[in-house]
Structure 1
Amino acid sequence: MAMKAAAVLLRRTTNLHHRALSTCATEKPYHHHDYNPDHVYLKPTPFIGSFLKDDTPKNPKEAYRKLALLRRDYDKQVKVIRKEFIEELNLKQLEKARKDEASKAELLRLREERKKLKAAAAVVRAAERKASDEEFRLTLAKEKAEKLKYWRRRQNAIEKKKIKKRELICQQSAQWIAEEKLEPKILEAVMDSKVL
């Protein structure tokens, strides 16, 4: 009876394993994050169905012992596979960290280059601004000199007009009459209109 129960239990576990393997083999593997198409899958384990391949044990103790040996070997293999999986994950994390570090270094280098280019552009703009300020200053100085020249010419012209006016006044003043001689001259002019 115990032997039948062990055989039924073993058949059920192997059937479950076969069903799981058959569904895994028929379905397309899909992983959300890191699906690697180059992944190499392990071959089916030799433990599945191995209990039934050999001749069936005669007594339950031998069946349990054989089953325990199979489980122990299976656990060892699973432990090795888990270690490999953990190592693979660690390698992936290290690779990702290295790539992240490299991208950070690249971003830092690009940022430094942008800063240098901005500084160079600022120097060029400052030189252009200085040149335009100098040109503007020269233009202002030239305009100022032209205005000063124009102002001097105008002042000279005004002075010449004043001098001419003074000379004219001096010439006219030579014909002017003093106040004490003014009354007799008026009387004379009234009497003799030809003189005027």
Structure 2
Amino acid sequence: MNKVKLKEAENNFIIRFPGGFSNPQMLELAKKHKVEKMKKIAQDSFAIGQFESAANIVDSMGKIVSQSSLISLFEKPKFRELVKVLSDSEKEHLAHGLKEFLHGDQAYGFGLMTGLLYEYKLAKWPLLTVYPIYYRPSVEVFVKPTTVKGIIEYFELAGLKYNSNPTFEFYKAFREQIMQMKQEVHASLQVDNAAFCGFLMMTLENHLHKD
């Protein structure tokens, strides 16, 4: 990673928003994006005991997608339709994948979810990573293609090459680099990975505007 660029981004952000994510403007932004509400929905819906009902899990996945500001308006209706047409066995498959990802073998779970969504041409990064970022925001990452590509390029993250076809290998490697970057900045920016990636995204936007 380019630590000079990261430190510059941190300084600019703190100047603009004193207190980092505890700044009133940042708190208002989090409220606008219903961050706490979405975390609660995910953490209540995807607790280990909830996985006895695959149908309920898939319905909850649909609720997360439809209400999340992280998911594009283009993807929301497609996922909503998917939930309607999935067979019971497919719902079991998808729910089991999420259960493994959140509570068991992450690589296996990611593969299960990706495989099923691929059949419906919906194996998209946001539709795979939106649930864990709300369920475990201090550990997991949300992969938004344009943002991730920008972060990799601007901050010069070594060994990472974005691919539109989701793989757990990339997810794991990107997550590791985000965790490393987070350790390099002021404590006020270490709230969780979603907020931290938001800070990086704002840095990219400011950089583009300057150009």
TM-score by length of 2: 0.21
TM-score by length of 1: 0.22
Question: Which gives a bigger RCO, structure 1 or 2 (Cα 8 Å, sep 6+)?
Answer: 2
Computing the radius of gyration from Cα coordinates, the structure with the larger value is 1
